[in-house]
């Protein structure tokens, strides 16, 4: 691992990953052993690796799988669900499953098409639905915190995109922890300092079976493009990605960033239908999207 100037054997690597994770959980005050954690599981290496690490560290962590109804000729949702369930069964863990089609009448690609959001790609609607459902389940089932498997490559790509457009509101919100607010569970990203390939190595060494394919709709996305750019940078300057992200966190913490005002609570109120906070005047964006789709059905 050139970026850490470190070389480990299998045995020590499998100890090092949970140790580091525990260090980050404490450093950023993510959660304690007394809290109930809901891990968003997609069937991919990051989320399954995260779940595995948290359980090995003795945390009370249940899983949540969202069935998006994405097929695209490779049976994507079906296969990812099978692997998430397999992991849960093998480790005797509780996995909640929410099927978007059963819950809201249509799978994600159809919701996207009918609601005319996102220029031919379902990702905008998908992201909206995922955030909404993760929050809903965390709230309804009484979880203290919602954990996602975002790794350093993900976070650096988002940071890069936000920096390119100086999206100050998003920059202020990006970090390992997003505190809870009325009706919204705390959100944490315990893997945000691990490189993607460190997660791949962890899953391989632990024998975790995960879905290799990315969601077919991810192809050609901006975030993949940014990841490629950052990988070029990383090849030339090992550690650059980590420095980029960590320096940002420091600057944000010390208030050295160009942003000064506090956007904490941008006039949120509760959506009359689902009772989740929203900045819109009436129904939240998700509920409005569902209404629109049902109206045209």
**Using CB under 6 A as the criterion, which residues of the chain lie in contact with ligand Q46 when the complex forms?**
122-123, 126-127, 215, 217-218
Q: Rounded to the nearest whole angstrom, what is the least distance from the CB of residue 132 to Zn ion in the complex? A: 7
| Residue (25 or 192) nearer to ligand Q46, CB | 192
Nearest distance from C-beta of residue 285 to Zn ion, angstroms? 8
Partner from ligand Q46, Zn ion, none binding residue 125, C-beta < 5-8 Å depending on class:
none
Distance of CA 290 to the CA centre of its chain: 23
C-beta closer to Zn ion: residue 128 or 287: 287
Residue 122 touches which of ligand Q46, Zn ion, none (Cβ within 5-8 Å per kind):
ligand Q46
Pick the closer one to ligand Q46 by CB: 59 or 286: 286
Q: Considering the complex, what minimum distance in angstroms separates the CB of residue 96 from ligand Q46?
A: 18
Please choose which of ligand Q46, Zn ion, none residue 123 contacts, taking the beta carbon within 5 to 8 angstroms, the exact cut-off set by kind.
ligand Q46
Please state, in angstroms and rounded to a whole number, the distance separating the CA atoms of residues 156 and 164: 12
User: Rounded to the nearest whole angstrom, what is the least distance from the CB of residue 118 to ligand Q46 in the complex?
Assistant: 9
**If contact means CB under 5 to 8 A according to the sort of partner, which of Zn ion, ligand Q46, none does residue 126 touch?**
ligand Q46
Q: Which residues make Cβ contacts (< 8 Å) with residue 5, sequence separation at least 6?
A: none
Binder of residue 287, out of Zn ion, ligand Q46, none (CB less than 5 to 8 A by kind):
Zn ion
Structure tokens, 272: 């009359």
111 in the Ramachandran plot: left (φ > 0), alpha (ψ -120 to 50) or beta? alpha
Residues whose CB falls within 8 Å of the CB of residue 131, separated by 6 or more in sequence, listed in order: none
User: Considering beta carbons, is residue 4 or 273 the nearer one to Zn ion?
Assistant: 273
Helix (H, G, I), strand (E, B) or coil at 97: strand
Q: What are phi and psi of 95, to 5 degrees?
A: -120, 120
Q: Pick the closer one to Zn ion by CB: 90 or 282.
A: 282
Report DSSP state, residue 36: E
**CB of 218 or CB of 229, closer to ligand Q46:** 218
Q: Measure the CA–CA gap between 72 and 18, rounded to whole angstroms.
A: 35
Least distance CB 217 / ligand Q46 (angstroms): 4
Q: Shortest CA distance to 143 belongs to which of 234, 39, 28?
A: 39
Name the DSSP class of 269. Answer: E
**How wide is the angle at C-alpha 5 spanned by C-alphas 233 and 256, nearest 5°?**
60
Q: How far is the CB of 122 from ligand Q46 (least distance, A)?
A: 5
Q: Which of 100, 158, 97, 153 is nearest to 126 (CA)?
A: 100
63 binds, among ligand Q46, Zn ion, none (CB under 5 to 8 A by kind): none
Q: Comparing C-alpha atoms, which of 130, 138, 97, 128 is closest to residue 292?
A: 128
- Residue 218 binds which one of Zn ion, ligand Q46, none, with CB within 5 to 8 A depending on kind? ligand Q46
Smallest gap, in angstroms, from Cβ of residue 187 to Zn ion?
18
Q: Which CB, 147 or 215, lies closer to ligand Q46?
A: 215
């Amino acid at each position: 691992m050139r970026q850490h100037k470190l070389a480990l054997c299998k045995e020590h690597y499998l100890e090092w990953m949970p140790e580091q994770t525990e260090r980050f959980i404490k450093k950023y005050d993510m959660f304690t052993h007394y809290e109930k954690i809901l891990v968003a599981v997609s069937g991919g290496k990051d989320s399954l690796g995260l779940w595995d690490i948290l359980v090995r560290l003795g945390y009370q962590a249940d899983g949540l799988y969202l069935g998006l109804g994405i097929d695209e000729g490779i049976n994507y949702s079906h296969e990812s669900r099978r692997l998430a369930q397999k992991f849960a069964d093998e480790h005797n863990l509780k996995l909640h499953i929410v099927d978007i089609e059963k819950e809201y009448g249509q799978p994600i690609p159809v919701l996207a098409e009918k609601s005319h959001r996102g220029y031919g790609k379902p990702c905008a609607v998908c992201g909206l639905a995922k955030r909404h459902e993760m929050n809903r389940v965390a709230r309804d089932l009484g979880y203290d915190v919602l954990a996602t498997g975002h790794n350093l490559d993900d976070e650096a790509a988002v940071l890069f995109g936000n920096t390119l457009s100086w999206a100050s509101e998003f920059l202020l919100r990006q970090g390992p922890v997003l505190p809870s607010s009325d009706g919204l569970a705390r959100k944490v990203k315990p893997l945000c300092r691990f490189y993607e390939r460190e997660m791949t190595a962890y899953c391989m060494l632990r024998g975790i079976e995960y879905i290799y394919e990315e969601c077919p709709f991810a192809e050609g996305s901006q975030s993949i493009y940014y990841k490629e750019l950052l990988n070029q940078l990383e090849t030339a300057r090992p550690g650059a990605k980590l420095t980029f992200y960590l320096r940002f966190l420091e600057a944000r913490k010390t208030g050295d960033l160009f942003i000064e005002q506090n956007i904490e609570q941008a006039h949120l109120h509760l959506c009359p239908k689902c009772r989740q906070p929203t900045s819109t005047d009436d129904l939240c964006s998700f509920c409005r999207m569902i209404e629109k789709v049902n109206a045209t059905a």
